A and B are shown apart, each in its own frame.
Chain A
Amino acid sequence: MLVADHLIKDFGTHRAVDDVSFTLERGEVLGFLGPNGAGKTTTMRMLAGCLEPDMGVAKIAGHDCVEDRLQAQSRLGYLPEGAPAYPAMTPRSFVEFGLRARGFSGAALKRARELALERARLGDMANQPIGTLSKGYKRRAALAAAIAHDPAVLVLDEPTDGLDPNQKDGVRQLIRDMAPEKAIIISTHILDEVPAVCSRAIVIDEGRIRFDGTPREMIIKGPDGTIESAFRTLTRTAHNSGMAA
C-alpha cells in the first residue's frame, strides 16, 4: 500500500534522509519516531508528493509519488506538520475545498464532508473561521480535510500535537477505528501513543532507520523496559556511533 524504497534527500550539504526503506500494508499503523531534525517530516513530505527524493522511490497504492503524482495523491490523506489551514475559511468550507479539488460534488461531497467533520469531532466549531479556533480545533479541521475523501493511505505528521488529553484520546480512537481499512503512518513525540495505537514502530535518527519492529520489540531495547528508555537508547547509540566515526 505504501512503499519507501531507498529514499535519499539532501538539503545543500546536509543529508536529511539517508537510504530510508520500508513498506506498509493495509491494517498497519506505523509510529514514525525520532528526535527533532531526524528526517521524519522530510520522509513524510516525500511520501505525500510535496518533496521529490534525490534518489529512491516513494509509492502510494502502487503509484510513484513523482512520476504518477496525481494518482498517488488521490489515494492519500496527508496532515502536514503544524496542520496548516486557511484562517478565513471555516472547517466546513476547508474540508469542502479539499473534496472539490479531488472531484467530489453534489450529495457525495456533502456526505463526505459531514462524515469527516463528525469523525474529527468539530461540532459547532465547524462553522467558525479557522483563524478564531484553538490549536486543538485547528488541528482537527486539518485532520478532517485529510480523512474526508476516505483515502487508502494516511500520512499524519504529529496529529495529536497541541491537543488536550481528551482530544488526544479522541484522535487515537479515530485512528484505531480507521486502522483495519487503511495503511496509516503517524509521526509523534508522544511515546505513550506508540503502544496505544501503533502496530509497528520505526525509529529514525540522522536520516537513517535505527529500529523497525513492533512496539513490544522496541520496549525491550530499553534498559528499564520503558519505551522512553528504548527511544533514548536507540537514538543515543546513533549519536555515539556518529561521534566515534
Chain B
Amino acid sequence: MTGLYAVYRRELTAYFQTPLAYVFLAVFAFAAPAFAFHIGRFFDTNRADLAPLFDYLPWLLVILMPALAMRSWAEERDRGTLEFLMALPIPLWASTGGKFLASWTIAALALALTFPMWIAVNYLGSPDNTAIATGYFGALLLAGGYLALGQTLSATTANQVVAFVLGVAACFVLTMAGLPFVLAAIGNGAPAQISEFVADLSALERYNAFRHGVIGLRDIIYFLGLIVASLASAAVLIAERRGGGR
C-alpha cells in the first residue's frame, strides 16, 4: 500500500502543481450549471429537483473525464519518467490504482462544486434528497468508469491528444449504447440477445437507475467491474512494455 499511497499523493499534487486541476474544476463548476440552467431549463421545470443537472452530467463527463485521464500514462511515456516509475519497487496495480484514485478525487471535488445547486433546490422547495444523493453517487461511479477507461487508452500511446480523442470516443460509445435509437437501430435485423447485450453495456442505463434513488447491486458491480477491468487492462499494457515488443 505504500506504493499506491506514494503514487496517489504524487499524482494529486501534480494536478495542482500545474494549472490542470484549477482549469478543470473551473470549467466543470461553470459548465455543469450552465447546462442545467440553459439547456435543462432549471427554473422553467417548476420542479424542486436536480434532474436538469443529472440529465446533462453524463455528456459533460464524456468530455471532461478523458481530459483528466489522458495524461496518466501518455505523459509518463512522452517525458521518459515511465522508466523511473518502472524501476521503483512497486507493483503495477499500485501505480494504476494510485493514478486512478488521484483523478477520481479531482472528479469528486468537481461534483462537489455543484452542491450549491442542491442547496438552492432545498431553499426553493422540498426535493427528494435521497434520490439526489444516490444521483451524485451514480455520477461519481460513472466518472470513475470513464476515468479508468481513459487511463487504459492513455496507456496505448505517448501522445496525450490521441489518448484524449480515444477516451472521448470510448466513453461516448459506452454512453450511447443505452439510447433508444441505438437499440432500435441494432434491433433491426440483429438477434435479440445482441440488443440485450448492448443495452447491458450501457453506462447511461446504470446511471439512470441511481438517479431514481435506486442503488442496485448489479449497477454497482457494473461500474466497479468497469473500473477494475479497465485498470487491469492499463496495467497489462504497461507491463507489456517490459517485454520490449516481444
Q: Which residues of A contact B (CB under 8 A)?
A: 9-12, 45, 48-52, 54, 69-74, 76, 78, 80-82, 84-89, 93, 97-98, 100-103, 105, 129, 142, 145
Contact B6 A80 (CB under 8 A): no
Bound-state Cα–Cα, A73 to B90, Å: 9
B10 contacts the other chain (CB 8 A): yes
Inter-chain contacts of B86 with A (CB < 8 A): 49-50
Contact B6 A9 (CB under 8 A): no
Known contacts A11-B245, A80-B80, A87-B79; A48/B87 CB under 8 A: yes
Contact B17 A70 (CB under 8 A): no
Contact A101 B88 (CB under 8 A): yes
Bound-state Cα–Cα, A185 to B5, Å: 31
Inter-chain contacts of A74 with B (CB < 8 A): 89
Known contacts A9-B244, A11-B245, A88-B17; A73/B83 CB under 8 A: no
Known contacts A74-B89, A86-B14; A52/B80 CB under 8 A: no
Inter-chain contacts of A145 with B (CB < 8 A): 84
Q: A49-B86, A73-B89 are in contact. List 10 more A-B contacts (CB 8 A).
A: A49-B242, A54-B246, A71-B89, A80-B80, A82-B80, A84-B81, A84-B83, A89-B10, A97-B9, A98-B84
B13 contacts the other chain (CB 8 A): yes
Among B89, B242, B243, max chain A CB count under 10 A is at: B89
Contact B7 A101 (CB under 8 A): yes
Smallest CB gap from B83: residue in A: A80
Number of B positions contacting A (CB below 8 A) = 27
Known contacts A12-B245, A86-B79, A93-B13; A101/B3 CB under 8 A: yes
Contact B80 A88 (CB under 8 A): no
Interface residue from A50, A70, A100 paired with B91 (Cβ < 8 Å): A70
Chain B, residues 1-26, CB within 8 Å of chain A (1/0): the string is: 01101110110011001100000000
Inter-chain contacts of A9 with B (CB < 8 A): 244
Bound-state Cα–Cα, A70 to B7, Å: 16
Interface residue from B9, B10, B79, B89 paired with A102 (Cβ < 8 Å): B89
How far is the CB of B76 from the nearest CB of chain A, in Å? 9
Inter-chain contacts of A82 with B (CB < 8 A): 80
Interface residue from B10, B18, B84, B89 paired with A70 (Cβ < 8 Å): B89
How far is the CB of A11 from the nearest CB of chain B, in Å? 6
Inter-chain contacts of A105 with B (CB < 8 A): 2
How far is the CB of B213 from the nearest CB of chain A, in Å? 41
Inter-chain contacts of A73 with B (CB < 8 A): 87-89
Smallest CB gap from A84: residue in B: B80
Interface residue from B6, B79, B87 paired with A100 (Cβ < 8 Å): B6
Smallest CB gap from A42: residue in B: B244
Contact A85 B84 (CB under 8 A): yes
Smallest CB gap from A142: residue in B: B84
7 tightest A-B CB contacts, nearest first: A84-B80, A73-B89, A88-B17, A101-B6, A100-B6, A74-B89, A80-B83
Contact A49 B245 (CB under 8 A): no
Inter-chain contacts of B246 with A (CB < 8 A): 10, 52, 54
Bound-state Cα–Cα, A81 to B84, Å: 10
Q: Which of B71-96 contact A (CB under 8 A)?
A: 79-81, 83-84, 86-91
Bound-state Cα–Cα, A71 to B89, Å: 7
Smallest CB gap from A145: residue in B: B84
Inter-chain contacts of A86 with B (CB < 8 A): 10, 14, 79, 81
Smallest CB gap from B90: residue in A: A101
Contact B88 A102 (CB under 8 A): yes
